[in-house]
Structure 1
């Protein structure tokens, strides 16, 4: 990890966990914004109602920036049939300082100068927001659709230099506002995914999110080895881990053959 003691972002007077959650969230389901007539930035996050436990944990860690009116429920809209859970912080100078180092003209800037301040908790938040296990249950992806290929190259280099985790940049085509567009995502093979999970699992806030870490194997011995690693990270959740893996295997045709 880089030595960040004398860096301005490290000296902002918010707790380490609060800054970690903010940095992880702005890569995922949160952002920093200015609202008139306030001169300082606010931090906000939004999650589906089905992620209520995760959202409640997040905002419980943000007491130093919340207000009595920070949380509310948003009604479903045209793009979603489920209610949304919304958090908006107070307008604070400390958040403005983070904004100035991570945004330019209201657009998030992917730069090593602030990525270096990410912690395992930041990475865990980013994964829980935008990460998924895909294909045969042993590969992973971070949905980085809003970022350019140039920005993903910065993220790829950051992963390998700071965390020794190799990721691949992949391109897909998806429908957006009635037309297809090309977007880029970060992909993990099995080796990289396991290495990444070993970094972040112990920082995962809730056992209810263990499904995000359930790598699947047909080989019983390899499966048991990974189950053992998950139990080390979530020692009170052995039954939940076993049941989640069983259910996920039932859902995937690859494991029902």
Structure 2
């Protein structure tokens, strides 16, 4: 296996971040070649068709998040997000891929500048069950839900 450099940085919002830069690992070189056309990340259906459940879990560990909505102090719903940092059209390709290949219904949402995939409570629980076997123990917080406080719809 090749060399992995580790770089620490702080995000614009003040969070500490550790960046692993495994550019010398052969798989990383292949992924970079497939994903970065002319220096810009580009997601195609051809690339998505290469994904396995483990690959989807790795993607979620990297770019996924979970949040809860509360009503009267109690959790009433959960939202999963998959931050993609790509165009609306590419996100629509991802939404279609997940629906057609895996049967998951993602929606699109947009923050100030970027689109991302978004999933509600019921579908989110199903997705979490799908990827959970592949989640590293250090990332379990991204998929753990407390069923006694979660909405079931």
Counterpart for residue 161 of structure 1: 100
Report which structure shows greater RCO (CA 8 Å, sep ≥6): 2
Q: Which runs of 5+ in 2 are unaligned?
A: 70-76
TM (normalized to structure 1)?
0.49
Structure with greater helix share of residues = 1
- Paired residues, number: 144
Name the structure 2 match of 1:87. Answer: 21
Gaps of 5+ in 1: 1-63, 174-181, 223-257
Check 1:78–1:113 CA distance in 2 against 1; reply closer, same or farther (3 A cut): closer
Q: Which protein has the larger Cα radius of gyration, Structure 1 or Structure 2?
A: 1
CA contact (8 A) 1:138 1:217 kept: no
Compute the TM-score of the two structures, normalised by the length of structure 2: 0.77
Give the Cα separation in 2 of the matches to 1:220 and 1:108.
36
Whole-angstrom distance in 2 between the partners of 1:142 and 1:172: 12
Question: Higher strand fraction: Structure 1 or Structure 2?
Answer: 2
Counterpart of 2:82 (choices 142, 160, 165) is 142
Q: 1:127 aligns with which of 51, 60, 76?
A: 60
Counterpart of 2:139 (choices 209, 213, 221) is 209
1:192 corresponds to 2:131:
no
After superposition, the Cα gap between the structure-2 partners of 1:82 and 1:99, relative to the gap in structure 1 and judged at 3 Å, is: closer
